[in-house]
């Protein structure tokens, strides 16, 4: 006989009180800011990385929840529509300038600084 388990509810985030040395917190907050994370997210990131490096990260642990605005859906750019009649045309790109150097002066034609 197999027991049916009830559907798993999403896990709530565990809230803990963490006391840190103020200098450690300041360094952590600066590091988090450099990586565009909150101090709390940086602590979780570092703890997960330490657990994974030690081979102690549980296999059923979920991904770190992403905060903020969801990423934009990737779309292929739409082809440019024909401009409306009478609309000004976009400016054309400037033509490349020629880069061929002119003829070099003959050695006897060079200005003489001693003269």
Give phi and psi for 109, each to the nearest 5. Answer: -95, -10
pLDDT of 69 reads 78
Instruction: Give the CA dihedral 57, 63, 67, 68, nearest 10 degrees.
Output: 150
pLDDT of 15 reads 93
| 111 vs 13, residue with greater confidence | 13
* pLDDT tens digits along 71-96: 787 666 565 555 566 656 656 656 65
Confidence of residue 17 (pLDDT cuts 50, 70, 90): very high
pLDDT of 66 reads 76
pLDDT of 61 reads 86
pLDDT of 81 reads 58
pTM tops 0.85, yes or no: no
Q: For 27-55, what is the mean pLDDT?
A: 95
pLDDT of 89 reads 66
pLDDT of 12 reads 82
Residue 33 and residue 40 in contact, taking contact as beta carbons nearer than 8 Å:
no
Residue-wise burial string across 10-20, b where 16 or more C-beta atoms lie within 10 A, e elsewhere: eeeeeeeeeee
């Amino acid at each position: 006989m197999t027991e049916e388990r009830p559907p798993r509810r999403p896990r709530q985030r565990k809230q803990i009180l963490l006391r840190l040395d103020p200098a450690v917190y300041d360094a952590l907050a600066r590091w988090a800011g450099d990586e565009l994370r909150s101090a709390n997210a940086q602590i979780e990131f570092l703890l997960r990385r330490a657990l994974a490096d030690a081979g102690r990260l549980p296999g059923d642990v979920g991904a770190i929840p992403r905060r903020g605005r969801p990423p934009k859906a990737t779309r292929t750019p739409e082809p440019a529509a024909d401009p409306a009649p009478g609309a000004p045309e976009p400016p054309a790109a400037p033509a490349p300038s020629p880069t061929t150097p002119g003829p070099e002066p003959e050695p006897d034609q060079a200005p003489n600084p001693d003269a």
